[in-house]
Amino acid sequence: MIWFLRLFPAFMILFPLGFTLFAGRHPERASDEGTQLMRRLWSVTLAAITIHIAVVALTETDPEAWRLLRAAWPVGFGTGSFMVIWFGFAMKALQARQPGYRNLPNPGSPEPVRSASLTPRDTTSPVPRGAWFAGWAVFGLCAGATGWALLQGVPSMLILGLAFWLGMGVFGSQASLTEAEPMDTAGSPELAEAWGRLRSFKAWCFYGMGLIGTIGFAAVAVITVFAPGVAGMSGAIFGTAGGIAGGVFGTMASVRRARVNALLQELGTREANGPAQTA
Amino acid sequence: MLTVRLDAPTPLADQIVTGIRCAIASRELRPGDGLPTVRQLAADLGINMNTVSRAYRALEATGLVSTVRGRGTVVSACHETGGRQAAEDLDARVRSVLSDARLSGLDRSATEGLVSGAIATIWAKE
């Protein structure tokens, strides 16, 4: 797992810069401060990756002397620096260069004209009834397996895995269905379709993450009973895979949300320019 | 779709009532169709739930919608009474609206455009 502890923090450090470069710069709506913010992002990323490389190199020379640093950096500060780089630098640069990544207008914003769909959404889920039935059946099996494993003496915290389905699968999915829908005053079908795609994606992802999370925890509980020697490794692999899957899901949802936001802004601009163009 | 203006002199609840009446009249909403929950509509419009709730109660009082257990608020069957009395009532209201239009400075062609647009919307789905 040493290779993993070297590469994963590096990936986490470089990801914000990579994503911001991938998102690009809007040719018209990028703000002037984007260049300066990108410079800061480059600087902090280079500094963090330099520290990471230095730590890896130094701990290679004398693993015993650098034991504490070797333990603390990869699992703590190295991956933790992602939060600082992403939220402190990359998000600002991203939003300055691509306004689509700014938050969707708050329905409570001072916009005087507000629109809403008259179609009930709370009860219209893209996840069909059969999938919910299967999800609850799998949850029942996982609950049985986890309960059995607990009786064999595995750590009781593994029961938290059942909360994945209940919290993320059921409530998370439901919450994504009831989120306020952004609409333009003309009721653009293009915007409604883009929002519908985002909503459907989120509902399915929450469903999938909840289900897989519960299955993973139940599997780790059962593995702990039959092969306690590999339980730690399997838990680490499952936890990392879950974290990466969550990151990918969040990033893809952000990209889709950015498309919706960009479309909303474009429609707003079009509407604002409409009368002027015809006059 | 329902659109409201926060800066309009008409109360928000009344705007919601008018919008939903218009959607029912234009067959955008048909008898048996469910309306969004009070929570959803309030969240989408970014307004207080009590305002939406008040609008729904007003619509229910007129008989245009009703509350069905397990389904929420649904559009009731249309009451197409028609008749002379209805025409007289409408005539008085149209005159009132047109007077408002002229008093607010709209000229004849602009008013005709607005009225034609409204008629086209409401009778779009015959």
Interface of B with A (CB under 8 A): 1-7, 20, 23, 28-29, 34-37, 39-41, 43-47, 72
Cβ contacts of B40 on chain A, cutoff 8 Å:
116, 120-122, 178, 180
CA distance A260 to A202: 14
Say which residue, A211 or A231, is predicted with more confidence: A211
pLDDT at A10: 86
CB atoms within 10 A of CB A263: 19
pLDDT at B15: 92
Residue A183 forms contact with B (CB below 8 Å):
yes
User: How is chain A split into domains, by residue range?
Assistant: 1-102, 126-273
Q: Which amino acid is at A31?
A: S
Among A109, A118, A178, the residue with its CB nearest the CB of B46 is A109
Angle at A231 between CA A228 and CA A237, to 5 degrees: 165
Most B-contacting residue of A104, A106, A114 (CB-CB within 10 A), to test interface: A114
Tell me if residue A227 falls in helix, strand or coil: coil
Report pLDDT digits (tens) over A243-272: 788 888 888 888 888 888 888 777 776 666
Inter-chain touch A180–B39, beta carbons under 8 Å: no
The helix or strand, by DSSP H or E, that contains position B3, with its residue range, turns out to be strand B2-5
Average pLDDT of every residue of chain A: 80
pLDDT at A70: 60
CA distance B56 to B11: 14
CA distance A266 to A30: 14
Cβ(A162)–Cβ(A214) below 8 Å: yes
pLDDT band at A47 (very low <50, low <70, confident <90, very high): very high
| Residue pairs between chains A and B whose CB atoms are closer than 8 Å | 76
Cβ(A107)–Cβ(B46) below 8 Å: yes
Cβ contacts of A108 on chain B, cutoff 8 Å:
46
Could you give the C-alpha distances from A169 to A56, A208, A209, in angstroms and in order?
Answer: 39, 7, 7
The answer, yes or no, to whether residue A75 has pLDDT greater than 60, is no
pLDDT at A275: 44
pLDDT band at A277 (very low <50, low <70, confident <90, very high): very low
pLDDT at A17: 93
Most A-contacting residue of B1, B5, B21, B64 (CB-CB within 10 A), to test interface: B1
pLDDT at A276: 38
Among A115, A120, A122, the residue with its CB nearest the CB of B1 is A115
Strand partners, B65: B75
Report pLDDT digits (tens) over B18-53: 999 988 888 888 888 889 988 888 888 888 889 999
User: How is chain B split into domains, by residue range?
Assistant: 12-75, 83-122
Inter-chain touch B46–A180, beta carbons under 8 Å: yes
pLDDT at B118: 85
pLDDT at A278: 31
CB atoms within 10 A of CB A205: 21
Cβ(B39)–Cβ(A175) below 8 Å: no
Say which residue, A278 or A91, is predicted with more confidence: A91
Give me the phi and psi of B65, to 5 degrees please: -130, 165
* Section B87-108 average pLDDT: 87
Report pLDDT digits (tens) over B53-97: 999 999 999 888 998 887 888 898 766 666 677 777 888 888 888
pLDDT band at A279 (very low <50, low <70, confident <90, very high): very low
CA distance B125 to B21: 15
Inter-chain touch B44–A180, beta carbons under 8 Å: yes
Report pLDDT digits (tens) over A199-229: 899 999 999 989 998 998 899 889 988 888 8
Among B5, B34, B43, the residue with its CB nearest the CB of A113 is B5
DSSP 8-state secondary structure symbol assigned to residue A186: T
Angle at B89 between CA B84 and CA B94, to 5 degrees: 120
Among A108, A111, A118, the residue with its CB nearest the CB of B1 is A118
Inter-chain touch A114–B29, beta carbons under 8 Å: no
* Section A67-86 average pLDDT: 69
CATH number listed for the domain at residues B12-75: 1.10.10.10
User: Looking at chain B, which residue has its C-alpha nearest residue A120?
Assistant: B36
Residue A118 forms contact with B (CB below 8 Å):
yes
Report pLDDT digits (tens) over A121-142: 766 788 888 999 999 999 999 9
Which parts of chain A fold into alpha helices (H)? 2-23, 33-61, 67-72, 79-83, 91-97, 129-151, 162-163, 173-177, 189-226, 228-278
pLDDT at A138: 93
pTM of this structure: 0.64
Instruction: Evaluate whether ipTM surpasses 0.95.
Output: no
Report pLDDT digits (tens) over A157-194: 777 788 888 888 888 888 888 777 777 766 678 888 88
Inter-chain touch B39–A178, beta carbons under 8 Å: yes
**Over pLDDT 90: what percentage of chain A?**
16
pLDDT at A84: 84
DSSP 8-state secondary structure symbol assigned to residue A171: I
CB atoms within 10 A of CB B17: 21
Most B-contacting residue of A103, A115, A118, A191 (CB-CB within 10 A), to test interface: A118
pLDDT at A132: 92
Inter-chain touch B72–A120, beta carbons under 8 Å: yes
Residue A187 forms contact with B (CB below 8 Å):
yes
